[in-house]
Amino acid sequence: MAGGTPELVVETNCAAKNPPSVTLEDASGTRISVTLSTTHRPGRMSAQYVFRPDRPLAVGAFVTVIKDPFQTSRQALEVVAPTSGPFPWSHDPDVGQQTEVELGCGPEKSVQIEVGTTAAPRAFVALEDLTDKQSVSGFIRVDVDHLVIGHGMCDGAFDLKKGHRYAASIALVQPDGVSSAAKPATFVYQPTMK
Q: How far apart are the first and last CA of the chain?
A: 38
What pTM does this model have? 0.75
How far is 156 from 15, CA to CA, in rounded Å? 13
How far is 187 from 193, CA to CA, in rounded Å? 17
> CATH 2.60.40.10 spans which residues of the chain?
94-193
- Domain 94-193 class in CATH: mainly beta
pLDDT digits (tens, 9 = 90+) for 156-173: 678 899 999 999 999 998
Q: Which H helix or E strand runs over 74?
A: strand 72-79
Instruction: Say if strands 122-129 and 165-173 run parallel, antiparallel, or are unpaired.
Output: antiparallel
pLDDT digits (tens, 9 = 90+) for 36-87: 877 776 555 667 788 888 888 888 888 888 887 778 888 887 777 766 666 7
Residues 6 or more apart whose CB falls under 8 angstroms from that of 174 comprise: 83, 87, 119, 120, 180
How far is 57 from 67, CA to CA, in rounded Å? 21
Q: Span 8-79: which CATH code?
A: 2.60.40
How many CB atoms lie under 10 A from the CB of residue 108?
Answer: 17
